[in-house]
Amino acid sequence: MSNTSSNTTGDESLITTDVETGSNGRTASSERTAVAARDLNVFYGDEQAIDDVSIEIPEKRVTALIGPSGCGKSTFLRCINRMNDMIEVCRVEGDVEFGGKNVYDPDVDPVALRRKIGMVFQKPNPFPKSIRDNVAYGLKIQGFDGDVDERVEESLKGAALWDEVKDQLDSSGLDLSGGQQQRLCIARAIAPDPEVILMDEPTSALDPVAASKIEDLIDDLAEEYTVIIVTHNMQQAARISDRTAVFLTGGRLVEYDDTAKIFEDPEEQRVEDYITGKFG
Amino acid sequence: MATDDSNAAGFGEVSRVRGIAFEYLSLGASVAGLVALGVLLVYVAIDAFDLANASPEWLLTYFLTLVVPFLLFCLYSAGDPAVTRRVAGVLGGGLVVVAAAFAAIEAFVVTIPRLSWQLAYLFVVVAPTTAYLAYVGSRGRVGAVGFGLLGRLVGGVAIGLAVGTLFLVFDELVWFLAYTLGVLPAAALYAYGSRRAANRAVTAAIPVGLVGLVAAVFLRGVVGTYPSDLIIYLWTLAVPIAAVGAFLVDARGSRVGAAVVGGVPLALATAGGFLAGSVGLPGPTTLIVIALTGVPTAVYVHRVIDGGDGVVGLGLPLLIGGGVLVGALVVEAWGVPAPDPWLDPGYVTEAPSRTAAEAGLYPAIVGSVIIIALVAVLSFVLGVGTSVFLEEYTAGSGVVGSLTRLLQINIANLAAIPSVVYGLLGLGLFANLLGFGYGTAVTASLTLSLLILPITIISAQEAIRSVPDDLRRGSDAMGATRWQTTKNVVLPEAFPGILTGTILALGRAIGETAPLIMIGAATTVFSAPTSLFSRFSAMPMQIYAWAGFPQADFRYGVVAAGVITLLIILVGMNGTAILLRNRAERGN
Ligand SMILES: Nc1ncnc2c1ncn2[C@@H]1O[C@H](COP(=O)(O)OP(=O)(O)OP(=O)(O)O)[C@@H](O)[C@H]1O
Ligand SMILES: [Mg+2]
């Protein structure tokens, strides 16, 4: 962890939310680590986007990544499932460990890695296929041999979408509303039963009602999956996450701790300023 | 400073003269071009169908038995009194205006050759109105059903004839073996696999199919006895088509319907195939045509009746068929002189002849159909393959990247090379070097494929590029390989666009003559090609040859009939492709 400052502040809660922080009551210490980064540096050409980040993300918890725009949250997320490989100018130094293995080792097949890590994007991006085919996509490409329909149903239930679409599984995924599309993408991500789910601002394109549905969903997902979520919404981070990592400009991880601690009593003045909206 | 002033005078004026001038100039230019083309086509049609000799009584008869019922059908489907009033106004007013204008021009300016005011009325007023009404009518449920049925009937016949034509040059015995050993087992495995969600069966389908195909080629010479052609066509084409139809209806939950939809056309096709010989028709082709027309029609009729919406529309083919029949009877009884069209059944089924009256386009039609089929397959496969490689697989930097860019620039340049040069390339490469022979269908197809390949590649690239990156990233993040993303997400999305480009390119290929002349294609052959390596002719070549004949009958009638045939085939081909594309788009 890289929170090294000694700058303490008062203990009043910095933001007010209706929900108490860490509402799910999962204890946020002494678990196994799902994903860890060690001395991670990422460059786009000459520009550095992640600066010497080390972090350990616990299993079956919701970890929120927050920070101002351009501070490297998405970049960090993409390092975990090696989606950065697609960006030609991107160069990664250091380790990202998943399941005890450095994913940047030469013998790691990024495609196989991604089959263990689901991802949900900022803008819902269902395929122009039927709802059923969307959810079954991962199963299809992985050569799943079991009962596809059963798995589709389970996943849609897991994404709290089943009741709304169970009669129209053959209609196009694009005919759904934005919020439903995003839940469809979540169903698609969980269908192959990954270990980790990465979410990059999954609710920023949605209205508050749809967003709160997804928030509830994320809470349930953490029963089974490790969820790592990037968000710009402080209340959201406070409501749904167990741990929060604060990145600041330049791609530095300035503080990483239990969510309650970050929002009530951060170590760093800069973090407090960011959370209370004084900058960023 | 001058706010008060300008407010007082409104907001002032901004000159739009240049924009308006531009707008009308471009409008004028395009209208002039379209009118010129329209006049040409009118005269070509008049020549091809000998309409100049059609008596007004003949025209009136068919107008009343064919055109008016069709217009009424469309109006009924549109169900909009405003449209009805407008159409009545246009038809009535148009009659007066055209007649008056025609008389005035004849009296004061020039005599208009080979055109009567009735014909002018037909082309200027009736034809556009009919087209417009067909469009409006097809948007109503009844009209949509009618046109859907008509399309399946016509399309089925056309595809059936094309398949029959292809078997003139392709060996049906190889196809028999390939189907039995490769296609059928592979399809069965695939169907079983996707039903039971058994991925291994699905994966095995492709290798099994390939092994079967290879085995077929080797066994062709080994196996001594084969069933008759008719049995082969029945087994390899009619039965699977009927099975697919029955399956589609079964999926809608109707067992009895499935049996009827599959069984009746199959029985009809078999009967037709065996009886065709006695009336002088080729049995196998008859069988395919009936199967390919009957099954889709039956599936469609079942769907419409099942849905119960717009069932009346199913009467449209009867209306049109009945109209033609009644018209013929009336003309016969009335004894009015009928035109003697150049474009008649004999024209499209017989070989060229020394006399204009007996001249036929059959060998050239067969040649063109075969070439186009080969070009379509070759350029589609190569074009899609290359564009996928260029868009999805190559790196943007390094040696490979530079090579790709070089390739890219050259493909763009290739599209601009004159077609004679491609002819020369075909002559040197395919005819000479590879020994495919001068003027053979293979040489011609390969040459024309090369000619349109750049256009296909560029348009396919465009289509692939327009697939949103979001979708690719979504698929990649699921753990799809590059190939899986391309196959499952990119290509289905890009398919309509790819098809559009291919249609345009094929339209160019079908009309080319220069490269065909270069590779030594014959202008006239007297029998249809029997193999891919026999001498052949193509429609544009034959038409070009006729245009040089000294007799006027050739230069007008026969050429015009050829042009119309070429256009009909082209429009039919494009129509099919456009329907396919729209389906793919709706499938999304
Ligand atoms: N594909 C890319 N090519 C080059 N530079 C990039 C690329 N993606 C991101 N960057 C740079 O990396 C830095 C971090 O970007 P990143 O997208 O990770 O930020 P972020 O924290 O997700 O911001 P936001 O909250 O706006 O999404 C930025 O300075 C950005 O300019
Ligand atoms: Mg981001």
So what's the ipTM on this one? Answer: 0.85
Q: Is B394 on the interface with A (CB under 8 A)?
A: no
Query: What does the pLDDT read at residue A11?
Result: 42
Please judge whether B478 and A114 are an interchain contact, meaning their C-beta atoms are less than 8 angstroms apart: yes
CA nearest ligand 1 atom 1, residue = A87
Task: Give the tokens for residue A198.
Answer: 């990465």
Cα B360 to averaged position of ligand 2 atoms, centre (Å): 69
Number of domains chain A contains = 1
CA nearest ligand 1 atom 31, residue = A70
Q: Does the structure show a pLDDT above 50 at B223? A: yes
CB-based contact B289:B157 (threshold 8 Å): yes
Q: Which residues of A touch B194 (CB under 8 A)?
A: none
Residue of A112, A119, A147 with shortest CB distance to B477: A119
Distance CA A170, CA A129 (A): 9
Q: Is A104 within a domain?
A: yes
Distance CA A248, CA A94 (A): 19
Residue B455 CB-density burial (10 A; 0-12 exposed, 13-18 middle, 19+ buried): buried
For ligand 1, say whether the CB of A250 is within 6 Å of any of its atoms.
Answer: no
Contacting A residues, span 78-117, partner chain B, CB-CB under 8 Å: 81, 83, 86, 88, 111-116
Q: Which residue of A has its CA nearest to B474?
A: A125
Question: HEC profile for chain A?
Answer: CCCCCCCCCCCCCCCCCCCCCCCCCCCCCCCCEEEEEEEEEEEECCEEEEEEEEEEEECCCEEEEECCCCCCHHHHHHHHCCHHHHCCCEEEEEEEEECCEECCCCCCCHHHHHCCEEEECCCCCCCCCEHHHHHHHHHHHCCCCCCHHHHHHHHHHHCCCHHHHCCCCCCEHHHCCHHHHHHHHHHHHHCCCCCEEEEECCCCCCCHHHHHHHHHHHHHHCCCCEEEEECCCHHHHHHHCCEEEEEECCCEEEEEEEHHHHHHCCCCHHHHHHHCCCCC
Q: Is A118 within a domain?
A: yes
Q: Is A76 within a domain?
A: yes
For ligand 1, say whether the CB of A73 is within 6 Å of any of its atoms.
Answer: yes
Q: Which residues of B touch A147 (CB under 8 A)?
A: 197
Q: Is A18 within a domain?
A: no
For ligand 1, say whether the CB of A71 is within 6 Å of any of its atoms.
Answer: yes
Ligand 1 atom closest to residue A201's alpha carbon, by position in its atom list: 27
CB-based contact B166:B366 (threshold 8 Å): no
Angle subtended at Cα B126 by Cα B121 and Cα B128, rounded to the nearest 5 degrees: 115
Contacting B residues, span 197-256, partner chain A, CB-CB under 8 Å: 197-200, 203
Query: What does the pLDDT read at residue A198?
Result: 93
Q: Is A95 within a domain?
A: yes
Per-residue pLDDT tens over the stretch A160-205: 888 888 898 888 889 998 889 999 999 999 999 899 999 998 888 7
Task: Give the tokens for residue A263.
Answer: 């929002």
Q: Which residues of A touch B471 (CB under 8 A)?
A: 125, 127-128
Q: Is A232 within a domain?
A: yes
Mean pLDDT over residues A122-129, rounded? 91
Per-residue pLDDT tens over the stretch B349-380: 888 877 777 788 888 888 888 888 899 999 99
The SS3 assignment for B223 reads: coil
Count of Cβ atoms closer than 10 Å to residue B535 Cβ: 17
Q: Is A175 within a domain?
A: no
Q: What is the CATH number of the domain that holds A251?
A: 3.40.50.300
**Distance of residue B183 Cα from the nearest chain A Cα, in angstroms:** 23
- Nearest-ligand number for the alpha carbon of A75: 1
Residue of A129, A137, A174 with shortest CB distance to B478: A137
Per-residue pLDDT tens over the stretch B98-154: 999 989 998 888 888 878 888 889 888 999 999 999 999 888 888 889 988 988 898
- B437 closest CA partner among B375, B519, B529, B368: B519
CA nearest ligand 1 atom 16, residue = A72
Query: What does the pLDDT read at residue B586?
Result: 64
What is the greatest pairwise CA distance in chain A? 58
Please judge whether A118 and B488 are an interchain contact, meaning their C-beta atoms are less than 8 angstroms apart: no
Does A31 or A252 have the greater pLDDT score? A252
Task: Give the tokens for residue B320.
Answer: 């049109």
Query: What does the pLDDT read at residue A159?
Result: 85
Q: Which residues of B touch A123 (CB under 8 A)?
A: 470
Task: Give the tokens for residue A78.
Answer: 């993409």
Q: Is B324 on the interface with A (CB under 8 A)?
A: no
Please judge whether A174 and B588 are an interchain contact, meaning their C-beta atoms are less than 8 angstroms apart: yes
Domain range for A57 is 33-124+194-276
Does A52 or B531 have the greater pLDDT score? A52
- Nearest-ligand number for the alpha carbon of A49: 1
